[in-house]
Structure 1
């Protein structure tokens, strides 16, 4: 009985240690410990096998009872640990895939706050920043203006949007600030809840309302206020049409809606006053400045590191996200 349990554990450890194991990414840092455990369990398996062969009566000894009890306790602890790991991994998957509506309402607000709290690593783009600040704050007596920030993925659209969103003059200029990350797999109710999180006091009754009720509530919360709405990573004209109806246009002079998008067609469709900001690749100097900032922060940099660093930055071909990832900043 004890031998069968230990033999099963031995086979399980062996399967984990195979290089084609689906658990490789989880156990790679514990491979040495697992190998040591496998050696000990294998020795115990041999001992128990010989013991059971010599135990003609077949009765369980005090030793076997105690071994079985401790083994059972160990398995229970392993089960608890696996439950904890599984719960944690499920939460991570839910955030990324946006599967559970209830958790997503909470996660959306939390992840939005996390996005805005992360320290920006914006190097270069000074001209674009100045132009965007000017377009956001210049006086206007008509309806809210839409400003798309356009470019390929990883070009720095969200970083630039965060920079202006948190800019002190912008915080003072607008009565209301609200940010929503839309993404390709979007959910309108979650987006509305994310925006309302910044405009009203949220409670459980608000989360239970329908899309139409939430849209009406958002309209009323923005009425007669100068607002700044950021819709980050919006993909289609249809999604834009569905959201723009939620923003009031009367008695909201000076309000702005800032979009980040990869879709050129959407940018032209939403931008009625030629305010789109098109983001290009970084030049060589900007690429090196960003790489140095992400990799070394304020540290003094030896000459030989600078030579190699510039070569690496050049290989990123002016794409900010690639530069930051390669530099180890994310």
Structure 2
């Protein structure tokens, strides 16, 4: 059967469109009237924080993203929100404003406010039982595709894996290129790592066994935009990268990522690396699987004066190495997309271990 794909039902794009947020939220204030705003604490004291359309009774949370979101953290946030709302009430909406970690947190919180148990119990595919509360994604970094994906990636007690479900998808996305202003200049490495997540999404989708013309159309256009941003330094790079991220997320929504993401989940689980940099480290060693993609990736790194970190796994214990392999092996749909149903014959654990040893 063909997948009946769930996509973000409402999207607004354009410079300055963030200012429409209050009007977008107004019709949703039909229950408790409470909106939960989760903002990357990078913006503490900055103009964006002052532009939030907070109303009396809303809950404003600053989120530190030094570490990627964990299942325990999601559980704690949900408890904090429930106590704030009181009397068994729930907020009318959750709004995430930031990079991929903040967007994934907003998605996960909106799910776990309506589903029983703890977040780690829902790490996997289509385990969510009940629809989330209304949730809005507003990216201030571009590349992860979190604004359009059906997953909220979390690190749990035994693995790093997303809450993958149709209910995870945002109800509304606001894509304002003004929110990316200064990222390339002020935090160039973060800008690059996040953008490469998008580029790698496309390579894995376009080279995968799951690819179809729907996924191909989005992935190919996203690659065109990535090249204009990271090789040509187009003057409208913010707009182009924001749309590349959106298209890249749409591409994998109807296909899947592959070997790089599977291995990066293991690497980042053990080393605590952020998703974009973990992907970049891994991808640099996959030229036998993605030869053209790795070649172009290296050209992008050179063009932007980025040095890929090396020798990160040299001092790991046997237990840590085994954990990386275990986490990566669990990414079955990713391996099947990359190598087909016989992926375990083509990517045995020993081959994974050799790849990790190179990193």
Using the size of structure 2 for normalisation, the TM-score is 0.25
Greater gyration radius: 1
TM-score by length of 1: 0.27
Larger RCO, structures 1/2 (Cα 8 Å, 6+ apart): 1
